[in-house]
Structure 1
């Protein structure tokens, strides 16, 4: 017994020191948000097309504006299934008790229809972004890939479609304003696309945003998402 106590008295201090010196465990934070996306899109002339969107995002338990995004692009429609865009976005991130953070983005986008499997439509959107923020000097590169699938809930009718999509984000370099190369975030959506008069549509559903933060921490946003596409 005396030997046991002697061994424990030697081991316990070392174990305590190891626990105290170990890095804090990664944490996950969550938030409830509401995102509204108003997008106008159509033809400028012949195959020259455009889109313009405004996106207020309400976060912190749906209590305040977390981000405001303004984005537009011009594109060329090479075929009914393939369009290339060059665009620009301005993002405002309000900071409580401080100066707002502004982000400017240039981006190139490829949108194409991959096919019509299982009675629905499968499409892809690839976007390469160049990002500048007001709280740093570096330019960040980020690649985004979205896979989207929609299927009519009633055969022969596009009045209401079931809609799912997933979009992965990867940062391609480190920046002095906080971007770290590697996995950035994943957005997953499930909901419905509702046909409106003309070619316009309304998309409503749940979006899960999983963000990879610094020090191994993770943020999960539970988003009620509403998107209006006005097409003409």
Structure 2
């Protein structure tokens, strides 16, 4: 009887440890480098972005994104964009998949609350990938907060933002409707001349991966924003 109890207890321990292992997220350290050029001619606005993402413990290129867009400045606080993104995914060694995205974007400078500048970016994406035939629809909402650390005109600012991604449908190349990922950033914004800035900090990404469960990425994020 005691022997059976020991066997049962051992079995329960194995099941529990297996369940914990299955629930543990797949973690990675990454480096994301982004350069974005912003400009406008009258009420016509544009931006062009290049972003290599280096993953697998910052050892190899994981993804490359090229993202231009053109838009209309409704007023000083609100700009609407139509854009395109070319995405190379190198996540699987020896295999590169290509994704094309069309997107519509709303940029809104909400205002200042207790000295904190608040802005929003809402993006609706239509995604085509080389590994499937379906169009994946995704909605992204970014809320950004920035507070100057001094009263000087060119003060360094503390920055924090979070962005939620929601897939709106299932697609045959991977996405499943519902929560897709969330990103949270904390760091500093440094002025480098005119309106241009450098933003550096820690970015955490928690993503749902249908084949592997949850992915958790710890990212050193370096961003150069050039504004004319």
CA separation of 1:8 and 1:99: change in aligned 2, threshold 3 A: closer
Contact 1:168/1:185 (<8 A) preserved: yes
**What root-mean-square deviation, in Å, do the aligned CA atoms of Structure 1 and Structure 2 show?**
2.6
Map 1:79-228; keep pairs closer than 5 Å: 79-94=75-90, 97-214=93-210, 217-228=213-224
Which of structure 1's runs of 4+ aligned residues deviate more than 6 A? none
Distance, in Å, in 2 between the alignment partners of 1:162 and 1:98 is 40
Deviation at 1:98, TM superposition (A): 3.3
Structure 1 match to 2:45: 49
Contact 2:30/2:218 (<8 A) preserved: yes
Q: Unaligned 5+ residue runs, structure 2?
A: none
Q: Aligned with 1:79: secondary structure?
A: coil
Larger radius of gyration: 1
Number of matched residues? 227
Distance, in Å, in 1 between the alignment partners of 2:93 and 2:112 is 50
Contact 1:190/1:205 (<8 A) preserved: yes
Contact 2:63/2:91 (<8 A) preserved: no
Q: Deviations over 1:107-147 (max 9, x none)?
A: 00000011100112100000000000001110000000000
Distance, in Å, in 2 between the alignment partners of 1:182 and 1:108 is 20
TM-score calculated relative to the size of structure 1: 0.89
Distance, in Å, in 1 between the alignment partners of 2:66 and 2:170 is 25
CA separation of 1:109 and 1:58: change in aligned 2, threshold 3 A: same
CA separation of 1:23 and 1:222: change in aligned 2, threshold 3 A: closer
